[in-house]
Amino acid sequence: MQDYSIHELELISNEIRQDIIKMLEHAGSGHSAGPLGEVEIYVALYYMILNHRPSQPNWSERDVLIQSNGHCVPVRYATMAHAGYFDRQELQTLRRFGTRLQGHPERMRLPGLESTSGPLGCGLSQAAGLALAFRLDNQEKRRIYVVMGDGELDEGNVWEAAMFVPRHKINNLVAIIDRNNIQIDGPTEDVMPLEDLKAKWSSFGWHVIEVDGNNLEDLIDAFHLSRAIIEKPTVIIAHTIPGKGVDFMEQDFAWHGSPPNHEQAVKALHELRTLKGKITSEHL
């Protein structure tokens, strides 16, 4: 695995955000806020944490990343393309007829996706089943990561899995919750209160780490720390800003399920390319 400085990872994250905006504008539908907020989670995983080979997506010793909240798949497609799984040009086929980049991820269409998701709440238990299979095959050194949304935690299936994982003493599994506080109908605490989220997971038998989910250094530290926790499974509650990087999208639940139109995309890209004026943009 190549080593990247935090600064390099930040620049990659910025490029991925631009790709997400372009993909969504071109597709004309899709979710904006979640994917933008989760960029650092995916960059940390694909560039620093996962043991994987982009040129061999089915490599038998790879770590497994399961995306439970399939609606956020644009961030995964964009990060996979940047990491070398496929050409970035293909990103523009998102949601188009015949594409490998379906509106919600389908394992059978794109190697490297690991599972098919969209209907919420099903990723953690699939990860649990996979962990049990690894145990039977003495492959417990392979680690399994599951990214979930916070709105997704309304699903009963999540809590069935939250009980199941500690019951079977699975400790090569890390759950990541994108705690961005929004879901389609509004703020999570208005729609269906989740707090005290840390206490909930602790009481279910999980080791809980809370981090700034848009801070690469904190995320990478948390992933490393999770390897040292062997008596329990780990859940990382990653506090993120929905729509991160684009001022008019940040913290606004209206952007949960909407794409930018052309004008909005131009505005967003301008903002991203200059990093809010901190760097000089390259003219694209």
Partner 1 sequence: MVKVNLVEYQKGYQKEPIRKGFGRGLLKLGQMNQQVVACCADLTESTQMLDFAKAFPNRFFEIGVAEQNLATVGSGLAAGGKIPYISSYAAFSPGRNYEQIRTTICLNNRPVKIVGSHAGVSVGPDGATHQMLEDIILMRALPNMVVISPGDSLEAEKATFQMANDNRPNYLRLAREATAIFTTNSTPFEIGPAYVYREGNDVSIIATGAMTFQALLASDQLSNEGISCEVIHVPTIKPLDQATILTSLKKTRLAITIEEGQASGGLGGAISELSTSLFPVPIFRLGINDRFGESGQPDELLNYFGLNSDNLIQTVKKIIKIKR
- Type of residue numbered 177: I
Nearer to partner 1, 131 or 174 (CB): 131
Which residue stretch of 35-43, 123-131, 250-258, 262-270 sits at the interface with partner 1 (rule: CB under 8 A)? 123-131
What's the longest Cα–Cα distance across the chain? 54
Residue 204 contacts residue 159 (beta carbons within 8 Å) = yes
CB of 52 to partner 1, least distance (A): 16
Q: Is 157 in the site for partner 1 (CB under 8 A)?
A: yes
Nearer to partner 1, 54 or 118 (CB): 118
Which residue stretch of 71-79, 108-116, 193-201, 228-236 sits at the interface with partner 1 (rule: CB under 8 A)? 108-116
How far is 243 from 246, CA to CA, in rounded Å? 6
How far is 42 from 35, CA to CA, in rounded Å? 10
Q: Is 156 in the site for partner 1 (CB under 8 A)?
A: yes
- Type of residue numbered 248: F
How far is 109 from 113, CA to CA, in rounded Å? 9
CB of 69 to partner 1, least distance (A): 13
Q: Is 204 in the site for partner 1 (CB under 8 A)?
A: no
186-187 and 182-183 as β-strands: parallel, antiparallel, unpaired?
antiparallel
CB of 230 to partner 1, least distance (A): 20
Q: Is 192 in the site for partner 1 (CB under 8 A)?
A: no
Q: Is 122 in the site for partner 1 (CB under 8 A)?
A: yes
CB of 182 to partner 1, least distance (A): 24
> In terms of DSSP H, where are the helices of the chain?
6-27, 33-37, 39-44, 73-83, 123-136, 156-167, 188-191, 197-203, 216-228, 262-273
- Residues near partner 1 (CB under 8 A): 106-108, 114-119, 121-122, 125-134, 136-137, 156-157, 160-161, 163-164, 167-168
